[in-house]
């Protein structure tokens, strides 16, 4: 059981920015971080002098591997004119920048700083797919890699355990993919902006052009069932169950809640933060949930005094479709074994009672791993500010949203609850 | 009595000798496979080596079409996927393992809950012989 913890001082977010996510052959990490930083500065309603930023916390999984350059704290510090003030890198695999946010929150809550910048970055597209797979696999549990498990492989195995326990199947995961792809065209920063239906029509057109007979796909699921259109990666994970390889950056400006109103009349507050650690598949209590997510959720709910039913929408770490399904249960939005039924009924769609991954999720928005955690919070912040445009959650009085980030094969998980008061 | 340290290196040496070994806490009987040097249930460091019978059932699996370079070098690819999984041992512990003698192209034929029996896959690695823990249908 997580102990009920409180911050010594409240923390608010007064600005946020993220770069476009995608594969950018003509840009490097600094270019994309600058994009996020400029947007963050412009987003502070009453303006901010960046010289007031007292410390930088930056999440990065492994640019060491991806672009052969480590030690990104001072590089970014120099880029944004922050030197000689402190810059600290955090690493928690794909949850690296959620850890940066947490460190930033603690730094302000302790009273040591009044204003910090937190963010994340990753540049993955300069490597081949096989190299990226090898790089990401550095974050699996050692025993998993030794018997040939890849990342999609671990989540594929988790899916078979879930299917066997609860009677779900691949069709249920397709509902998640289709839903995420429906949200993505509404997000101008997303890497993939086509719905599955549009992809299907585009594929048919391209086959026709080449004079190849076009299969008669009845609907989106029929398209996803076709092994030529949607080949297996690590069964039951297929191409459209997996997030892409991406470049990107994200950042947020945190201040003490007592001074937040000098920057905006509408600050977004950190209501709860939680973090957990997990064991590998061989050692966890049950392969159909993530113990680190459950612990992180308990901590965040305990701190905020909120319950799962109070969360009005959430970003959820969907590196693979099965991850989204299991986490919406672990976060308490749906009962264990019931998540797939709720998804089937449309509960997690943008216009459903519990919208999940309005951004398009990692699946479509992209997953530059170190940037992901703060980019999820960027989406929640944007929604709470009512600035999400076409993908705005259509709920009256939108006040509370969540962001769940996972690193490795469940080794590091966080849950953060933001609140508009 | 076996005197090797309760480490991953020892675990792998035992695999080379075709033994699947774990550590058991003498104070509270908690079992760890691969071994742990201390009991994380009661924090005793009084551990014993125990050999697993090598019987269990399949808890989870995946048929991997896109593998790492080391598996590609062994001839595995999109047309010839290999299978990795998690086996629940009769003794109660769970282990990650290759799943051998099953058809990776026919995942519907592989069932969670299938009885499994241990098998050791020996290879010549860059640093000498290396054994991968595997299971096959019993």
pLDDT tens track for A118-130: 999 999 999 988 8
In a domain, B1, yes or no: no
| Strand ranges (E), A163-293 | 232-235, 237-238, 247-256, 268-277
Q: Is A404 a catalytic residue?
A: no
Taking CB atoms within 8 Å and a gap of at least 24, the contacts of A102-107 are A102/A273, A102/A275, A102/A414, A102/A416, A103/A57, A104/A11, A104/A55, A104/A57, A104/A254, A105/A7, A105/A11, A105/A254, A105/A270, A105/A273, A106/A7, A107/A55, A107/A57
Which residues of chain B have a CB within 8 Å of the CB of A133? 66, 68
DSSP, res A413: E
The reply to whether B112 and B126 lie within a common domain is yes
**Residues A61-70: pLDDT tens digits?**
999 999 999 9
Mean pLDDT over residues A310-321, rounded? 98
3-class secondary-structure state, position A196: helix
Which residues of chain A have a CB within 8 Å of the CB of B109? none
Q: What's the ipTM?
A: 0.96
Contact indicator for B33, B95 with CB cutoff of 8 Å: yes
Mean pLDDT over residues B49-70, rounded? 95
Mean pLDDT over residues B114-121, rounded? 98
Side-chain half-sphere CA neighbours of B62 within 13 A: 28
* Reported confidence tier of residue B126, pLDDT bands at 50, 70, 90: confident
Looking at the predicted structure, is the pLDDT value of residue B38 above 70?
yes
The reply to whether B78 and B19 lie within a common domain is no
Looking at the predicted structure, is the pLDDT value of residue A134 above 90?
no
Which helix (H) or strand (E) element contains residue B132? strand B128-137
Looking at the predicted structure, is the pLDDT value of residue A15 above 90?
yes
Range of the domain at B78: 55-137
What pLDDT is recorded for position B70?
Answer: 85
In a domain, B2, yes or no: no
Closest residue to B133, CB basis, from A129, A147, A161: A147
Superfamily of domain A11-128+244-420: Thiolase/Chalcone synthase (3.40.47.10)
Q: What is the pTM of this model?
A: 0.97
In chain B, whose CA is at the least distance from the CA of A141?
B96
What is the rounded average pLDDT for all residues in chain A? 96
CATH code of the domain covering residue B92: 2.40.50
Looking at the predicted structure, is the pLDDT value of residue B105 above 70?
yes
Delimit the domains of chain A by residue range: 11-128+244-420
The reply to whether B130 and B70 lie within a common domain is yes
For B:32-91, CB contacts with A below 8 A are 33-34, 59-69, 71-72, 78, 81-82, 84-86
Instruction: Give chain B's domain count.
Output: 2
The reply to whether B38 and B78 lie within a common domain is no
Inter-chain CB proximity A287 and B132 less than 8 Å: no
Alpha helices in A190-320 (DSSP H): 196-209, 220-225, 291-304
Which stretch of A134-148, A194-208, A281-295, A383-397 has the lowest confidence by average pLDDT? A134-148
């Amino acid at each position: 059981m997580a102990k009920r913890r409180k911050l010594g001082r409240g923390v608010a977010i007064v600005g946020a920015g993220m770069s476009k996510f995608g594969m950018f052959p003509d840009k490097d990490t600094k270019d994309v971080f600058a994009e996020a930083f400029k947007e963050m500065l412009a987003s502070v309603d009453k303006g901010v002098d960046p010289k007031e930023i007292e410390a930088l916390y930056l999440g990065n999984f492994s640019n060491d591997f991806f672009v052969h350059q480590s030690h990104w704290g001072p590089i970014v510090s120099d880029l944004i004119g922050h030197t000689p003030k402190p810059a600290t890198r955090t690493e928690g695999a794909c949850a690296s920048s959620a850890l940066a946010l947490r460190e930033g929150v603690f730094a302000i809550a302790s009273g040591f700083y009044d204003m910090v910048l937190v963010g994340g970055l990753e540049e993955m597209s300069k490597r081949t797919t096989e190299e990226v797979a090898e790089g990401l696999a550095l974050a699996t549990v050692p025993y998993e890699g030794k018997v040939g498990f890849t990342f999609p492989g671990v989540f594929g195995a988790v899916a078979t355990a879930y299917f066997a326990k609860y009677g779900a199947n691949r069709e249920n995961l397709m509902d998640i993919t289709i839903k995420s792809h429906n949200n993505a065209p509404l997000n101008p920063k997303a890497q993939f902006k086509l719905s599955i239906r549009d992809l299907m029509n585009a594929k048919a057109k391209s086959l026709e052009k080449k004079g190849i007979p076009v299969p008669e796909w009845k609907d989106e699921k029929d398209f996803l069932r076709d092994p030529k259109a949607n080949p297996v990666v690590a069964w039951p994970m297929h191409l459209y169950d997996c997030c892409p390889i991406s470049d990107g950056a994200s950042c947020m400006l945190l201040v003490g809640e007592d001074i937040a109103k000098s920057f905006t009349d509408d600050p977004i507050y950190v209501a709860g933060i939680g973090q957990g650690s997990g064991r590998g598949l061989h050692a966890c209590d049950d392969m159909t949930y993530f113990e680190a997510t459950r612990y992180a959720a308990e901590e965040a709910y305990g701190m905020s005094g909120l319950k799962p039913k109070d969360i009005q929408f959430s970003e959820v770490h969907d590196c693979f479709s099965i991850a989204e399904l299991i986490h919406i249960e672990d976060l308490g939005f749906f009962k264990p074994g019931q998540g797939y039924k709720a998804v089937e009924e449309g509960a997690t769609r943008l216009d459903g009672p519990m919208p999940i991954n309005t951004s398009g999720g990692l699946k479509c928005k992209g997953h530059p791993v170190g940037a992901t955690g703060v980019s999820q919070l960027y989406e929640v912040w944007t929604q709470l500010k009512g600035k999400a445009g076409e993908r705005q959650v259509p709920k009256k009085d939108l006040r509370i949203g969540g962001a769940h980030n996972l690193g490795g094969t469940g080794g590091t998980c966080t849950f953060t609850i933001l609140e508009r008061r | 009595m076996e005197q090797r340290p309760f480490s991953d290196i020892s675990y792998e040496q035992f695999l080379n000798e075709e033994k699947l070994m774990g550590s058991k806490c003498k104070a509270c009987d908690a079992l760890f496979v691969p071994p742990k040097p201390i009991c994380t249930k009661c924090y005793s460091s009084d551990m014993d080596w125990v050999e697993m019978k090598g019987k269990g059932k399949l808890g989870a699996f995946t048929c991997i079409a896109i593998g790492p370079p080391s598996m590609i070098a062994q001839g595995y690819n999109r047309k010839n996927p290999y299978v990795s999984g998690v086996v629940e041992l009769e003794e109660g512990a769970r282990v990650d393992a290759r799943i051998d003698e099953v058809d990776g192209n026919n995942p519907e034929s592989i069932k969670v809950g299938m009885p499994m029996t241990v098998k050791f896959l020996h290879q010549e690695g860059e640093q000498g012989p290396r054994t991968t823990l595997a299971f096959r249908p019993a």
